Every structure is written in structure tokens, then in C-alpha cells.
Chains A and B, each alone.
Chain A
Amino acid sequence: MNGAQHILDTFHRHSIQTVFGYPGGCIMPLYDALVDDVRVEHVLCRHEQACALAADGYARASGELGVCIATSGPGATNLITGVANAHRDSIPMLVITGQVPSGLIGTDAFQETDVLGMTLGIVKHSYLIGNANELPAILEEAMALAQSGRPGPVWIDIPKDVLLAGTTPTPMRQSTPQDHSCPNLSGALAMLRAAKKPLLYSGGGISLAHAEKNFREFAQCSGLPAVVTLKGIGNAGKHSAYNLGMLGMHGSRAANRAVDECDLLLVIGARLDDRATGKLDGFAPNARTIHIDADAAEFNKLRDADLALRGDLNAILSGLSAALQEAPLAISEWQKQCQTSRTTGGFQAADNEEPLAPITGPAFIRQLSRVTPDDTVIACDVGQHQMWVAQQYQFDHPRHHLTSGGLGTMGFGLPAAIGAQFANRQSTVINVTGDGSFMMNAQELATIRRYNLPLKLIIMDNQCLGMVRQQQELFYSNRESQIDLNDNPDFVAMARAFDIPALKIERTDQIRRGVETILAYNGPMLLHVAIAREENVWPVVQPGGSNTDMIDETRRTPADNKEQVA
């Protein structure tokens, strides 16, 4: 067995059935081996960035390892954004690239780039294979590493000669066993019991740890009012009584207010990102902090924790639940206060009653949320539409909401949706995108067609880079600069050119029909939704500002104050 065949064999042994890749010179031995291997489905995307983002979407939706493959040089550099995206959101991913033959490394050979050096900051770990016999052990180690502890992308760069050489496996390296230990919880319980206004703050770490079930049990039996980060949306489920929604820059008033008032912040699986906390000085000013995470390097990074607990989130959450079930917390006043605050300060978008009125972003997403099946996966892009999804769509599970959190990668949504559809072949998968973001990976319409994926695409077209326009309006004196997209292509015609049916809606009374039509269609379909250019995401906190200084629509600058710059 040569190195390339060994890789496919390893995939098979680890039940990896789907990989996303793009061939080229130095990775050709692997593509040659694929010809004779029916066990692995190779999905050919149309750009390596999309391969990485599809592998990312696959991993997010399934909770399993995503795999992407590319050639050396431009293949590897094209992967970088997708791998960085996975790194920032701690997504388990295996990246395999071909490299120029060992003897040519360092000679500026054709399609040689220093992949190892170039990617150090965007991987959990990386390897350059020096010898074919190392390959088996490194592959095993890389796959385990990508999925253990705090997950992340692991990159293996393999010279072409290594892919061709016979492998005689060397002994496997000793891997560190997964840490399932539970730290002592008495300190945390004492702090919880002493608090009058404790608040649960959870993030993407819950689903990364596969701790959704234990989290929900804990949220329920503790009765803690709760806020979530962008990546934590869905943690509490649709019907949680005390969930105040997303906090932060575009968070709900109720969530940001609760953080401001609480006297104990219980942070679980979250890293206190600046988009969530706003200005740190003003963040949860009255609260002591308990920080629970799988990664000790998150403790005291941005805010000192009064108590930091590292360990397996499942073990910790079930330990806490057991203790609280025996003796519940007495926080009914605080619960009541938060529930009231939720009714007045939650995300409210009035449904537009006027049938001929133009469609507004939030109202559209609300309607979408009502019509879609419960197991629908929504893969967002980046911008205003992403925030409207975060605010208005009712998610019942964090793996149903795929969003580029840490990196904020425009172009994420379409390939991520492709990955998610391969992970959940029977589920409804919808890419909600913007007119700007869609064009960043629009070539993937060809992938959808090729594999006949029943994906639904919704373009929320405001004819501009809306999120940037909004910030220019609010924080740069209305000076619009390079955000105009009024020369967008005809998206319906574009989809049809890829043999994907499409339709356009622009009035409120067309929303329901439009959504139902694409959902009912047996195959891929695109819905082009024209929305107003001037719409903003509310509320908003100025970048670098404090979450208590939320701006809402009433403080909008009048439109006639607008100065056109570009």
C-alpha cells in the first residue's frame, strides 16, 4: 500500500465517508488512488476555499470530523480562509495537502509554498511528513487531535514522493486519553447559592463538547436566566423559559440588561469575545465570574475569573444538575424580573400587515422560522442578514445554526450548507445569504447541481454591503464608501444558468408563498428576496462601546443627512 492508498484506508477505518477536495499536481497520487476506491465519496467543489468551508459545515452540522484536500501552492493557499474559519470557531477538521517532492522543498519548485510556515497561526497543529513510514501514525494522531479537547483544524502537508512510497507503519505514538474528569464543584455551587442574580452565559463550547443534552438539563433544573453568544444560539432550545437570547453588539436589550445587572456570571463554553462583551470595563460590572471551559487558556484572558473550572463539560454540567436537583436555587424574584424584561426587551419585529409593503429582513426571517421544519439547518453568511437570523429565527439546537462566528467569513454560507447537506442528507438545509456574500462563493452553484443537492438558497438582496453601510451610516457620518451593489447580476437568471430553478419576491404578501414554494420543490431552488437598502439591524452597540449603550431605531440619523461618497 502506498501513502495515498493508506490515507484512504485510514478514512475507511474511521468511517469517514465524505471528503471535500480539488485535485492538482502534487496531490495526484491521492486522486489516482481514489479511482479504485469506492468507499470514500469525494465531493469536488469549485474552489479550494469552498472545500474547506464545506468540510467545516459538514463538521458543524454532524459533530464529526470534516475533511478537505487540495494540492500544493495555490490549492493550499486557497484553503487558508476556510481553515482559519474552522480554527476561530474550533471546528474539528483534517486538512490534507500535497507538497512538492521532498528533494525539491526549498528550491522554489513549481507550486511550492511553505504551507507549514504559512499556516502556523490558523491550525491546532500541523505536520510536514518527512518520511513515508511516519504517515500512518501521524494520520491517526492528527485525527484524534482535531477532535479532542478544544477541537480545531489539523493540517498534514505531504510531499508527493511520500504519497507514492510504500508505507511500513511505525508504532503509533502514545496519545493522551480524553479528559473526562470532573473538577470539584463545591466552590461553584457555593457561589451559585450565594448569588441573588446569577446568569448563565453559554457559547459554542456546548455543542463542541457534545454537551447539548446535559446543558439543557442544567438550564432547566437550575432555572437560571440565560444569555447566549452567537455560536451558543440553540443551546437552550426553542421553549426555554428563561432564555433571553443573544447578548452583545446586536444582542437583545433583555440579554444585555441582565448581564449588566447580574451578580454572578456563569460562563460555560464561551470565550468572552469582544462582539459579545462590548467594552470590557462596562461588562457585567457587578458580577463575580465562574468560567467553565475545556481550554484553560481561555481563563483570565479577557476577564479575571473568580473561579475557573477546566474539564469535561458533560461531567461538570451533570454534576451541577445533580446538586441543584437536590436543593434548587432560590431565585424566583430574579427569574420573574428577567421574564418581564424578555417580554419588553426581546427581539421583536412586527410582522408587516400591509400586503403590498416591501419586505423587511427581520419580518422575512420570522416567517421563515414559522414555516420551516424543526430539523432545518440554516447556514448563514455574514452581514445584516446573519444578524436577523440570529435574532429572529427560533433554533431548537445549536447544530441547526451554522454561522461564521470568530472569523466572520463572507462566502461561508453556501459551501457550509453544501457540507451540511452531505452530513444530513434527509434534512432541509437552507443557505441564508446576502447579495455581497453570495458572490464570494457563487461558483458552488455548480457543486449543488452536480450532486443534485436539495439545498435551498435565499438571497436577501439589499443591493449593498448592508452591514458596512449601516456602520458607515451610524458611525462614519453617513459617508457611504464602496458599499453599493446596485449593479448586482440577475440572481434568478444566474441560478438558472446552473440549471437551478429560482424565483424572486419583493412584497410582503409574497413571503409565505415564496418560502413554501422553495421548500416544496424536490431539488435545489433559489429564492431572491428584494429588501430595502436602508434597513438596519437593531439594536446596535458601537464597536468598542459598552453593551449598556445600545442604540435603537429612534436614534437613527435622518436619511436626508446622507452624503454620497462612492
Chain B
Amino acid sequence: MSTQSHPQQTPSYTLTCRMSHEAAALERLCQVVRIRGFRIAKMAVESVLEGTDETLDIALTIQGARPVAVLQSQLEKLHTVAEVKLASPALAHAASRIA
């Protein structure tokens, strides 16, 4: 599968995602990214309090050969995900790093 291919040649994408801060929220997100054929190269997470609701703002750089729109709709389907936005794709140069 695409996750085995060389990271330098694999398309890379930046996503931003807002989701509610429930138990296992991040694991759920990461699990979908992995099983749908992408690897995480970079990830930044910040928790934000909106009224009584705590949400997570997540910026993700991911790499994978499959169509990213399919991943996006899988992420949008998660019950706790409020929004997923895709920044324009760019080729990955940096070595993967999980923050």
C-alpha cells in the first residue's frame, strides 16, 4: 500500500481540523488517517475553550498516495469532528516528525 512508498516522493497535504475534546479524540483522528492510507509527518494540537465546550484545533501535515478528498470525507464523518479544511497540496520535503 501507499504507506510503504518513499516519503520524499509521496504527495503531502496540510489539513486543519476542529473537533470536540472528548476521550480518545486524537486517537480516533490518527486511526482514521492511518487506516485510510496516510502517515502523519507533522501535527500541532491546541485546546480551545468556547463557552463550556472544549475543542481541539489541529494542524496536520500528512503524506499518502491515495486521493486526499477521500480521507477528508472520512474525517468529516467522525462524530466529534466539526470541520476539516484542506490547504493546497505540496510535495513533502521535510523528514517526518510527530509533534
Residues of A bordering B, CB below 8 Å: 116-117, 120-121, 124-128, 130, 145, 295-297, 299-301
Contact B31 A121 (CB under 8 A): yes
Nearest CB to that of A149 among chain B residues? B77
A212 to chain B minimum Cβ distance, whole angstroms, is 25
A-B contact pairs, 21 of them (CB 8 A): A116-B24, A117-B24, A120-B27, A120-B28, A121-B31, A121-B35, A125-B78, A125-B80, A127-B22, A127-B23, A128-B23, A128-B24, A130-B23, A145-B79, A295-B77, A296-B77, A297-B73, A297-B76, A297-B77, A300-B69, A300-B70
Pair B31/A124 contact, Cβ less than 8 Å: no
User: Which A residues are CB-close (under 8 A) to B76?
Assistant: 296-297
Which residues does chain B contribute within 8 Å of A116, judged by CB atoms?
23-24
Q: List 5 additional A-B contacts (Cβ < 8 Å) besides A127-B22, A295-B77.
A: A124-B79, A127-B23, A130-B23, A297-B70, A300-B67
Chain B residues near A126: list those with CB within 8 A.
24
The smallest beta-carbon distance between B19 and chain A, in angstroms, is 12
CB neighbours (8 Å) of B47 from chain A are none
Interface residue B74 (Cβ < 8 Å from any Cβ of A): yes
Q: Determine if B27 and A299 form an interchain contact, defined as CB atoms under 8 angstroms apart.
A: no
- Tell me, in angstroms, the Cα distance from A195 to B22 when the chains sit together: 49
Q: Which of B27, B67, B74, B79 contacts A125 (CB 8 A)?
A: B79
Residues of chain A with a CB closer than 8 A to B79's CB = 124-125, 145
User: A301 with B24: in contact, given A120-B31, A145-B79 (CB under 8 Å)?
Assistant: no
| Nearest A-chain residue to B80, judged by Cβ | A125
CB closest residue in chain B, given A296: B73
Please report B residues at the A interface, Cβ cutoff 8 Å: 22-24, 27-28, 31, 35, 67, 69-70, 73-74, 76-80
Question: How far, in whole Å, are A130 and B31 apart by their CA atoms in the complex?
Answer: 22
Q: How far is the CA of A127 from the CA of B28 in the complex (A)?
A: 12
Min CB distance B31 to A, Å, is 5
Closest partner residue, chain B, to A119 (CB atom):
B24
B23, B70, B78: the one within 8 Å of A301 (CB): B70
A120 partner, pick from B24, B67, B70, beta carbons under 8 A: B24
Residues of the B chain whose Cβ atoms lie less than 8 Å from the Cβ of A299: 73
Of all chain A residues, which has the CB nearest B22? A127
Which chain B residues border A125 with CB–CB below 8 Å? 78-80
User: Which residue in chain A gives the minimum CB-CB distance to B72?
Assistant: A297
Q: Report chain A residues within 8 Å CB of B70.
A: 297, 300-301
Return chain B residues, CB-CB under 8 Å to A128. Answer: 23-24
Contacts of A120 in B (CB 8 A): 24, 27-28, 31
What's the minimum C-beta distance from A156 to chain B, rounded to whole angstroms?
A: 11
Contacts of B77 in A (CB 8 A): 295-297
Measured in the bound complex, the distance between the Cα atoms of B35 and A130 in whole Å is 28
**From B31, B79, B80, residue with most partner A Cβ within 10 Å:** B79
Q: Which residues of B contact A301 (CB under 8 A)?
A: 70
Cβ 8 A contact of B27, one of A117, A127, A145, A296: A117
Q: Whole-angstrom distance between the alpha carbons of A299 and B71 in the complex?
A: 11
Cα-based distance from A121 to B32 in the complex (angstroms): 8
Minimum CB distance partner of B75 in chain A: A297
Please measure, in the bound complex, the distance between the C-alpha atom of A120 and the C-alpha atom of B26, giving whole angstroms. 11
**Within 8 Å CB of B27, what residues of A?**
117, 120
Inter-chain CA distance A80–B62, complex, in Å, is: 30
User: From residue A92, how far is it (CB to closest CB) to chain B in Å?
Assistant: 14
Across-interface contacts of B28 in A (CB, < 8 A): 120
Taking the closest CB of chain B, its distance from the CB of A480, in whole angstroms, is 31
Tell me how far the C-beta of A359 lies from the nearest C-beta in chain B, rounded to whole angstroms.
43
Interchain CB contact under 8 A, A297 and B24: no
Closest to A124 in B: B79
- The 10 A-B pairs at the shortest CB distance, nearest first, are namely A297-B73, A125-B79, A128-B23, A116-B24, A297-B74, A120-B31, A296-B73, A297-B77, A120-B28, A301-B70
Q: How far is the CB of B40 from chain A (nearest CB, A)?
A: 16
